Structure 1
Amino acid sequence: MTILVTGANGGVGRLVVERLAQEGAKVRALTRTPAKASFPDGVEVAGGDLTEPEGLVDALRGVERLYLFPVAATARQVVELAVRAGVRRIVVLSSGAVTGGYDTDFHLPVEQAVEASGLEWTHVRPGEFMLNKVWLWGPSIRTERVVREPKPDAAWCPVHERDIADVAVTALLSDGHAGKAYDLNGPEPVSLRDQVEAIASAIGEEIRIERVTPQEAREIYLKQGGFAAENADFLLGFEDYGGGEADPDSAEDFDLAAYGPFPTAEAVTGRPARTFAEWARDHAADFR
């Protein structure tokens, strides 16, 4: 049985490949740059791009199960190709924003395309990624040992990317997950201030946290480029999930206690969800 992992070089995809290989599965990793790919021994590398479905025929040949990275524009075409290739099960990397009704344009169309296929499906819906902090805070921590945020005491339950991968691998390899959507969060609310402290502890150095205005943070993110610049307006409250204009100064803080416990990977894997402190230790090298 061959399992195709799309988005195989991504923050979650590479871990799905790694875990499947550890489990002895026959893995094919799809990447746009196969010549530069570095995967565990025994993993077959296939070239391809989800934005160009016509080039995926060879990559899908002989595949029975598929881990699908979300690309809404081509989801239906990719799923149609998967059906023709004989794929029987698809696990989608989706988003908790679908559960909340905020995401109607990006992850939801991918879920809908997969559900309409008639194949076995499972949706993995993580909330905020802990990994985002590497891309948002990494540059200023490495160069200045400082983090600048408008609301340093705001808290949420970010999820470790390994928990996301573990749930995806469980759904790919084990029965009993068809037709289910799994929302994933971290095990407890952690304020941005406490996240900074966890990273400081992991690298063994003090990191200052400075309060700035949303407008100042936006300028920092835009200047930084990459993930921070691409997501600055949404992350800082200048636009809503659908891209509509919003006022960051009028955004209300969530009272997480009012929502009760959030679902984690433990319900699927049977193992406690990883904490932010664990994640910080795992990624200490990214902040040094």
Structure 2
Amino acid sequence: MTILLTGATGFMGRGIVGELLRAGQSVRALTRRPATAGLPDEVELFAGDLEQPATLRDALRSVERMYLFPVAPQTAAEVVAMAGAAGVRRIVVLSGALADSDVWGDDGYLPVERAAQESGLEWTIVRPGEFAGNWLDWAPAVRTQRLVRRPYGAAVTQPTHEADIAEVIATVLTEDGHAGMTYTFAGPEALTVAEQVRLIGAALGEKVRFEEHDPVQAREQWIQDGYPAEVVDWLFGIWADSARDPAPVNEDWAAVVPRLTGRPARTFGQWAVDHAASFR
């Protein structure tokens, strides 16, 4: 059985590659630049681009199962139709816990989800919560100043270790019993932004300061940095609501990783230790 992974060279994809290889699976990776993919020798590399579905024909041959990274919602239906015509029987889609409420519309997760759900194939949707890996955006400031400036430091999230997401995806790709399921999940802890900064410092063995950034100034800065205003307003609105009324751990979300993988979900402290080198 051959499994095709799209987005295989990214932060998440490499973890899925590792999980599948450890499970003895035959892995094929789609990448724009095979020569610089840097994946293990056991992985079969094919050049292709999800935004240009015709480039996937060779990669789809003799594939039974496929992981679809949600990078090209405009072509998702065509890609999934090609996969079905080529003989793919099972498709797993990466989405997000807030897919139903995000502001991306036709540029977001939902068109990719619908493409799988309407395909006639076995499908599973994987909806992780906030990626702990988003903290790597602040790594330069931590390295140079031991400082994080963010608005809404009292906002609470349940950060999810990318290794747990990779394990969940590998599980539903290889095990039966997940067809037609949507799994929404997150890490095991509800932590404020300031608490997460403290845990990064603990992983470094040094104090990392948290400094509250005025939301108005932060909004202006994010927009200057290239984030769409409607996305910034949506995200800041979520953080503001959480800071005013912090939610406890969503136990339903926290239970999914242990149920699917058979072991406890990784904590944010573990994530910080695993990535300490990025912050040094």
TM-score (normalizing by structure 2): 0.91
1:218 Cα deviation after fit: 3.5
1:153 Cα deviation after fit: 2.0
Q: How does 1:55-94 map to 2 (within 5 A)?
A: 55-70=55-70, 71-94=72-95
Local SS of the residue matching 2:120: coil
1:148 Cα deviation after fit: 0.4
Q: How does 1:212-227 map to 2 (within 5 A)?
A: 212-221=213-222, 225=225
Look up the match of 2:247.
Answer: 256
User: CA RMSD for the aligned pairs?
Assistant: 2.3
Deviation sequence 1:77-125 (CA, Å, 0-9, x none): 1001101110000010011113568775311111111111111111000
CA 1:258 to 1:62, structure 2 compared with 1: closer, same or farther past 3 Å? closer
Q: Name structure 2 gaps, 5 residues minimum.
A: none
CA 1:158 to 1:207, structure 2 compared with 1: closer, same or farther past 3 Å? same
CA 1:115 to 1:247, structure 2 compared with 1: closer, same or farther past 3 Å? closer
1:145 Cα deviation after fit: 0.9
1:51 Cα deviation after fit: 0.6
CA 1:217 to 1:239, structure 2 compared with 1: closer, same or farther past 3 Å? closer
1:54 Cα deviation after fit: 0.9
Look up the match of 1:151.
Answer: 152
Look up the match of 1:277.
Answer: 269
* Contact 1:214-1:248 at 8 Å conserved across structures: no
* Contact 2:152-2:240 at 8 Å conserved across structures: no
Aligned equivalents of 2:257 and 2:160: distance in 1?
Answer: 9
Local SS of the residue matching 1:209: strand
Tell me the matched-pair count. Answer: 276
1:261 Cα deviation after fit: 4.8
CA 1:247 to 1:8, structure 2 compared with 1: closer, same or farther past 3 Å? closer
TM-score (normalizing by structure 1): 0.88
Q: How does 1:120-199 map to 2 (within 5 A)?
A: 120-135=122-137, 137-199=138-200
1:14 is matched by which residue type in structure 2?
Answer: R
Q: Name structure 1 gaps, 5 residues minimum.
A: none
Deviation sequence 1:115-168 (CA, Å, 0-9, x none): 111111110001111000102x11211111100012212211111111111110
Aligned-residue identity in percent: 48
1:281 Cα deviation after fit: 0.5
Look up the match of 2:120.
Answer: 118
Q: How does 1:9-28 map to 2 (within 5 A)?
A: 9-28=9-28
Local SS of the residue matching 2:194: helix
